Amino acid sequence: METAINNRYDFIYLFDVQDGNPNGDPDAGNLPRVDPETGEGLVSDVCLKRKVRNFVQIVKGGERLYDIFIKEKAVLNNLIADAHKQEGVKDIKEKGDKTEAARQWMCRNFYDIRTFGAVLSTGENAGQVRGPIQFTFARSISPIVTAEHSITRMAVATEDEAKKQSGDNRTMGRKFTVPYGLYKANGFISAHLAAQTGFNEDDLNLFWDSLKNMFDHDHSAARGMMNARKLIVFKHSTALGNASAHSLFGLMKVQLKDDQRPPRSFDDYIVTIDKDKLPEGVEVLDMI
């Protein structure tokens, strides 16, 4: 494998939703997540990581070195146990050395472990991995409004339901959508942690491709229209970085063109980056 990346990165990711539910809240009947005090919409970091994992599965198809650890129907302890059966791991006698060898094997073979990290001590111990890439929750630029829609289905689930309806065979349901929301998530990539997991330039390019394209392969009736709108990357010339993340994030402004009208498209916003205030040793990359 290639050597790990040796530059720190910080990035800003803008995406939007139209007439859909970007991330349902199971604690609120699957309503779109929202900050109850500000009315701003939320999308969890876990949701975004799931979409990255799904995209990598589509692109790599379980290819060696690009398997996904956290995936549908996975039995995690079985996967950890498999690591302990590998050549170069199973014959190690010292417990700590065997745990470390199993951890390295998991990082080498599972893309999401060397990218996002994982807890690998739930069965046979393979340690814990801190991933080099982390997201914040995405938060909408403007407050959102949740719309509730009644929907009908021209069928029933059981014969008993059909008898109760005298053959009408209709069922009612509800659907919750956000008419429009533009969301912003901040992200961080640590060269120090990348060295520990083996996260390399190919992995990084695959991650950028995921952010650019993952919504095109994640359509569903619930999510409506979702699109990646902006990916602004701040590349530091050193592993430790040349400026604080918050100062770099503050260089980008997202403002409504008309704050008297509710936004209904990305065109209702202006996105600007003050490149004149970019610190020395930091390069800005406009990837979308």
pLDDT, tens only, 150-175: 777 777 677 776 767 665 666 677 88
Q: What is the pLDDT of residue 265?
A: 94
The domain of 171 spans: 9-286
Q: Residue 234's pLDDT band (boundaries 50, 70, 90)?
A: very high
Mean pLDDT check: name the lowest of 10-14, 28-32, 206-210: 28-32
58 versus 172: the higher-pLDDT residue is 58
pLDDT reading at 71 higher than 60:
yes
What percent of the chain clears pLDDT 70, i.e. is strictly above it? 95
Q: What is the mean pLDDT of residues 63-76?
A: 88
Mean pLDDT for all residues in the chain: 90
Q: With helix as H, strand as E and coil as C, how does the chain read?
A: CCCECCCCEEEEEEEEEEEECCCEEHHHCCEECECCCCCEEEECHHHHHHHHHHHHHHHHCCCCCCECCCCCCCCHHHHHHHHHCCCCCCCCCCHHHHHHHHHHHHHHHEHHHHHHEEECCCCCCCCEEECCEEECCEEEEEECCCEEEEEEECCCCCHHHHHHCCCCCCEEEEEEEEEEEEEEEEEEECHHHHHHHCCEHHHHHHHHHHHHHHHHHCCCCCCCEEEEEEEEEEEECCCCCCCCHHHHHCCEEEEECCCCCCCCCHHHEEEEECHHHCCCCEEEEECC
pLDDT reading at 17 higher than 60:
yes
How do residues 91-100 score in pLDDT, each as one tens digit? 788 878 888 8
Q: Residue 19's pLDDT band (boundaries 50, 70, 90)?
A: very high
> Is 4 inside a domain boundary?
no
Contacts of 153 (CB under 8 A, 6+ apart): 170, 171, 172, 173
Q: What is the pLDDT of residue 167?
A: 59
> Is 261 inside a domain boundary?
yes
Q: What is the pLDDT of residue 191?
A: 96
Q: What is the pLDDT of residue 218?
A: 83
Q: How many domains does the chain have?
A: 1
> Is 269 inside a domain boundary?
yes
How do residues 180-226 score in pLDDT, each as one tens digit? 999 999 999 999 999 999 999 999 999 999 999 999 998 887 888 99
> Is 242 inside a domain boundary?
yes
HSE-CB at 279 with a 13 A cutoff on CA atoms is 17
Contacts of 42 (CB under 8 A, 6+ apart): 23, 33, 34, 35, 137, 138, 139, 140
> Is 201 inside a domain boundary?
yes
| Burial (CB count within 10 angstroms: exposed 0-12, middle 13-18, buried 19+), residue 108 | middle
> Is 2 inside a domain boundary?
no
> Is 3 inside a domain boundary?
no
> Is 1 inside a domain boundary?
no
pLDDT reading at 44 higher than 80:
yes
